[in-house]
Amino acid sequence: MSPRAISKLATIATVLAAIAACSSTDDGTDDGTGGASECSTASSQTLACPVLPGEFPPPDCDAASTKEPGACKGGGCSIDQTKCGSSSTCLPLGDNKGRTVQDFRIRRLVIAAPDSLAAIDFQAKVTIPTMDLKTTECGERGADGWSWLLRVDRTKRLVTTGGAPPSTDPFNLGYCFFNSDSAGKKLAPAAQLPIRLDEKANTFSTGAADKLLMPLFVGGDPKNLIILPISDFALRNVKLSSDDNCIGALNPKALDGACKEDPTTCSKWRTAGAMAGYISLEDADGIDVKAFGQSLCAVLTKHKGAKCPREGGKITLKGDYCSKTRAACGCQDSFWVAATFAASAVRIHDGSSVPECGSP
């Protein structure tokens, strides 16, 4: 058995043991903090990248990472590399080389936990088409509705992260941080997250943001806004390329001649960073996932109805994480959401020409 396979089996064993430990008492009875079946169901121990609530996945792990290299049999997707950047790296739309303030847009988010969001069906219907660019010349046919930006200040050791409205020109103008009001809430990027930067390895991790309000624009429509609230959000073990233009890389062999991909067998992007935080069931029940005709709470808990059921005004279903103790299981009023990601360099401007933006 290969060292990689042994490592994966060890990780799965650790997950199963920890789930059992947090879900029941020594005598096998319910400890009052959530039944074993509830925490076990909400976990991702059956997936390629098992992640316990409160933990981060390996930065390069994704659903197709265990497949044989021969599974990637694509090729022939025509990409305008002059316009879209090198397909042998990560299709960078900007250039960070030599800069102390470096800007990125996340190109692929591979959800590792919980398993309801890590499911290929959810990612194929929601995550991938929402985040992919609306640029066929770059081999993508998405909506550019979820533009997640990162700004890394290497001198001040700070990261700014947040969402951007769809760009009218991602190649020349670039993107700007959404910095406006929505339904009485001030939406601004989570500025000044401290980072631990390893200059030699060119990696960094951040401290946690109390609450990151991430804007998503349904169908790339700047007037159709959804807010994704992520608490205790942080980045871990993010690896930058030698020229500082890439976090991870494009895998051109994942695309066929029509530039289509099959994420079940071959990953279009190789990830090189991890992120995580938690979403409360109350917050999630107010988010409409149109692709499934349900609230995010219903999707997370695998409830069949449109929204999560309530008794006395309180949601009766359980998550895998407790916001009160910041720990797995417990009150189970939240779900721990963890993912890996790939990103490429972009231009981030001050937003003076975009009403929804402003200097963060």
Q: How far is CA 271 from CA 24, 50, 286, in A?
A: 35, 16, 30
* Three-state SS at 267: coil
Judging by beta carbons within 10 Å of its beta carbon (0-12, 13-18, 19+), is residue 16 exposed, middle or buried? middle
- How far apart CA 22 and CA 133 sit, in angstroms, is 41
- The DSSP code sequence of 153-183 is ETTTTEEEEEEEPPPS-TTTT-B--B-EEET
pLDDT reading at 187 higher than 60: yes
Token pair of 179 as six digits: 């910095």
Question: How many other C-beta atoms can be found within 10 angstroms of the C-beta atom of residue 101?
Answer: 14
- How far apart CA 193 and CA 236 sit, in angstroms, is 12
pLDDT reading at 26 higher than 60: no
Yes or no: say if 289 and 126 are a contact pair by the CB < 8 Å rule.
yes
- The DSSP code sequence of 98-137 is T-SEEEEEEEEEEEEESHHHHSHHHIIIIIHHHHS-S-GG
Q: How confident is the model at residue 360 (pLDDT cuts 50, 70, 90)?
A: low
- How far apart CA 329 and CA 33 sit, in angstroms, is 6
pLDDT reading at 173 higher than 60: yes
Distance of CA 354 to the CA centre of its chain: 25
Q: What is the pLDDT of residue 219?
A: 85
Q: What is the pLDDT of residue 186?
A: 77
pLDDT reading at 294 higher than 90: yes
Q: How confident is the model at residue 38 (pLDDT cuts 50, 70, 90)?
A: low
Distance of CA 77 to the CA centre of its chain: 25
pLDDT > 90 fraction of the chain, expressed in percent and rounded: 63
Yes or no: say if 53 and 113 are a contact pair by the CB < 8 Å rule.
yes
Q: How confident is the model at residue 74 (pLDDT cuts 50, 70, 90)?
A: confident
pLDDT reading at 166 higher than 70: yes
Name which residue leads in pLDDT, 308 or 26: 308
Q: How far is CA 317 from CA 45, 299, 308, 324, 338, in A?
A: 20, 12, 7, 17, 20
Q: What is the pLDDT of residue 108?
A: 96
Q: Which of 14-28, 78-92, 166-180 has the lowest mean pLDDT?
A: 14-28
Q: What is the pLDDT of residue 12?
A: 42
Q: What is the pLDDT of residue 188?
A: 86
Contacts of 186 (CB under 8 A, 6+ apart): 180
Q: What is the pLDDT of residue 33?
A: 42
- 158 strand-pairing partners: 153, 194
- 161 strand-pairing partners: 150, 190
Q: Which of 46-55, 131-140, 141-150, 225-234 has the lowest mean pLDDT?
A: 46-55
- Averaged confidence pLDDT in the chain: 85
Q: Which of 7-11, 97-101, 311-315, 327-331 has the lowest mean pLDDT?
A: 7-11
Q: What is the pLDDT of residue 140?
A: 93
Q: What is the pLDDT of residue 70?
A: 65
Q: How confident is the model at residue 152 (pLDDT cuts 50, 70, 90)?
A: very high
Which helix H or strand E contains 39, and what residues bound it? helix 36-42
Q: What is the pLDDT of residue 29?
A: 34
pLDDT reading at 142 higher than 80: yes
